[in-house]
């Protein structure tokens, strides 16, 4: 199997590029192993450079042994021109979705000090490394599964102890505490806990409000284990669910299970989304499901592929993404159910194992 650097160089050649300047933190980590908060990678057909400051000299040497260290001292105008030596007239990609306008301006100004014959051409590219990250390697799948398993355990823990009188913030803290005390490096995103009518907001935040008996609670959470993320949503009920909650929950669960069963390689993100959407629409709740069905996940909690309306991303084996339909009714609340899945051997394997509610009618 080719290394990540080899695959990147193949991509550069396919796009007729001579080098890549990597600024995105996750892309930097993916290619080099370096986890520091500051630095750049410069990859050519024959060289791999990591540029970082004094804080990370030792760390980068240990984590990125395949990269040659270029020390960043002072500003771009001092350290950037020597790093680009030998790339005069060459096309160097920059990450257009990551690099800010001010950074681009500073880099361009620094390189303008070079003679015309020594100056590279900076080419904005949006998805060079992201396309490599679409396909998860065996080690990445294991890392993601570890994050999923910890998230599952944290959910089960809190679901077993939450009771009326707990605040939404208390639930969120219990989740975070469990993750950190059981091997997690932290949360993959701020936990969502939304009781009762608050659950009608897909991205609600936890409040000091006390949870009450007789209401549903949407819990959207995830763990970070070794830099890989999980994402899980479950909707629980305090007490005995009423008929309306049962009806809406069953519609969402049917939509999710149908999408998980029918998704297959070769589908676009939109086609997968519409499987679930059509179930919800047929039940009369189409207008209450307004977000995408899911998203890719890996070193970032939201990455390619996108699974939603207008998504032309083609789903293929070894891609990991979420399937998370929901129904949100203003004044009543919401239900969302989310699993992480991986496409393997032509179908989805469900990575999440947290229990879901089951109603017999």
- pLDDT tens digits, 164-196: 999 999 999 999 999 999 999 999 999 999 999
Cβ(164)–Cβ(241) below 8 Å: no
Dihedral pair phi/psi, residue 85, rounded to 5°: -55, 135
Q: Which CATH class is domain 138-350?
A: alpha beta
Higher pLDDT among residues 321 and 1, named by residue: 321
Does position 360 have pLDDT exceeding 70, yes or no? no
Whether the model clears a pTM of 0.75, i.e. scores above it, the answer is yes
Domain 4-133, classified CATH 3.40.350.10, yes or no:
yes
Domain boundaries, given as residue ranges, for the chain: 4-133, 138-350
Query: At 75, is the pLDDT very low, low, confident or very high (cuts 50, 70, 90)?
Result: confident
State mean pLDDT over 264-290. 98
Q: Residue 357 corresponds to which tokens in the numbers above?
A: 């509610």
What's the whole-number mean pLDDT along residues 309-336?
98
For 289-307, the pLDDT digits (tens) are: 999 999 999 999 999 999 9
């Amino acid at each position: 199997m080719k290394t990540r650097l080899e695959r990147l160089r193949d991509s550069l050649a396919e796009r007729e590029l001579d080098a890549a300047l990597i600024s995105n933190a996750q892309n930097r980590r993916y290619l080099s192993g370096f986890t520091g908060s500051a630095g750049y990678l410069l990859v050519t057909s024959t060289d791999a450079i990591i540029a970082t400051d004094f804080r990370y000299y030792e760390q980068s040497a240990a984590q990125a042994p395949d990269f040659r260290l270029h020390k960043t001292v002072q500003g771009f105008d001092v350290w950037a021109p020597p790093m680009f030596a030998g790339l005069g007239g060459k096309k160097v990609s920059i990450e257009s979705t990551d690099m800010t306008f001010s950074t681009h301006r500073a880099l361009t100004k620094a390189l303008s000090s070079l003679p015309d014959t020594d100056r590279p051409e900076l080419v904005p590219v949006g998805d060079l490394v992201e396309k490599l990250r679409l396909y998860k390697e065996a080690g990445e799948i294991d890392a993601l599964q570890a994050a999923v398993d910890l998230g599952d355990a944290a959910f089960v823990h809190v679901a077993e102890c939450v009771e009326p009188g707990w605040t939404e913030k208390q639930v969120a803290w219990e989740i975070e505490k469990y993750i950190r005390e059981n091997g997690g490096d932290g949360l993959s995103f701020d936990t969502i806990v939304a009781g009762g009518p608050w659950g009608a907001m897909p991205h609600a935040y936890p409040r000091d409000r006390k949870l009450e008996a007789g209401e549903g609670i949407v819990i959207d959470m995830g763990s970070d284990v070794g830099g890989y993320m999980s994402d899980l949503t479950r909707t629980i009920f305090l007490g005995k669910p009423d008929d309306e909650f049962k009806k809406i929950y069953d519609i969402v669960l049917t939509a999710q299970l149908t999408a998980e069963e029918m998704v297959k390689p070769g589908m676009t993100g939109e086609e997968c989304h519409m499987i679930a959407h059509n179930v919800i629409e047929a039940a009369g709740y189409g207008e209450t499901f307004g977000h995408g069905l899911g998203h890719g996940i890996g070193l970032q909690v939201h990455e390619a592929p996108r699974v939603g309306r207008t998504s032309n991303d083609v789903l293929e084996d070894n891609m990991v993404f979420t399937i998370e339909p929901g129904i949100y009714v203003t004044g009543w609340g919401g239900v969302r159910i989310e699993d992480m899945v991986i496409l393997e051997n032509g179908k989805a394997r469900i990575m999440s194992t947290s229990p879901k509610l089951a109603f017999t009618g």
